Structure 1
């Protein structure tokens, strides 16, 4: 069973995405911001990370940059889940190492598909 780390500072969104992923058969670990996510990555070694872009303390793109700096975490696929929908935002995310991009409000299918593609 694949483990997905879901990172979002809004509890309702975190809980909803968690439910989607559990229903789809994933093991789910959650974090409230990028800093907490870095700790959870070491503890849980997730197969992929689904992260909000804009969060206090450390956002999703900063999290991705931190992960890509370390050989032990550089290969973990990161999917951004964000309200930012401009092409320039998607290009910037890609340059930071993001493997997938889901625009909020996102559906269960959007999330599952983006994670599957990112992990393939």
Structure 2
């Protein structure tokens, strides 16, 4: 499945903008959400090909949103890459157990991110 549309989920406007710029520069269509709750809604409505998910957000965190998206019939096939400041091995393991396809620690290396995206699609 080629990756065309990517949902970027992060409560930081600066982080959303930085990811938006690097992704659009590489030919991807980007939609954004600023919370876990909005990520679930947007994933069902927009049907992105990939989701980049922050973990630390007010309200529903990225782990909870990832678990919900990866277990819902309409969205379970959307790969999720967690992009977070939580860099402990236990954090990575927990993220993967929630349904993440990959786990990157901030600051995210943009070249590595694009390589991971291309490897998926």
Q: What's the TM-score once normalised by structure 2's chain length?
A: 0.92
* In 2, Cα distance between equivalents of 1:57 and 1:77: 22
Give the structure 2 partner of residue 5 of structure 1: 7
The answer to which of 20-29 and 105-114 deviates more is 105-114
Q: Judge conservation of contact 1:101–1:114 (CA < 8 Å) in 2.
A: no
Residue 71 (structure 1) aligned to one of 73, 84, 91: 73
What is the rounded CA distance, in whole Å, between the counterparts of 1:113 and 1:57 in structure 2? Answer: 31
Q: Which runs of 4+ in 1 moved over 4 A?
A: none
Q: Distance in 1 between matches of 2:115 and 2:58?
A: 27
> Following the alignment from structure 1 to structure 2, what is the Cα–Cα distance between the partners of residues 42 and 87?
30
1:40 — aligned with what? Answer: 42
Question: Which segment is superposed worse, 5-14 or 80-89?
Answer: 80-89
Task: Please say if residues 81 and 102 of structure 2, whose CA atoms lie closer than 8 Å, have aligned partners that are also in contact.
Answer: yes
Q: SS at 2:87's partner residue?
A: coil
The runs of 5 or more residues in structure 1 that have no matched partner are: none
* 1:56 and 2:48 matched: no
Report the alpha carbon displacement of residue 111 of structure 1 after superposing the two structures with TM. Answer: 1.8
In the aligned structure 1, how far is the partner of 2:117 from the partner of 2:58? 24
Give the root-mean-square deviation of aligned CA atoms: 1.3
Find the residue that maps to 1:79 and give its secondary structure. strand
Residue 95 of structure 2 corresponds to 93
Cα deviation, 1:1-21, whole Å, max 9, x if unaligned, reads: 610000000000100000000
In the alignment of these two chains, the number of paired residues is: 119
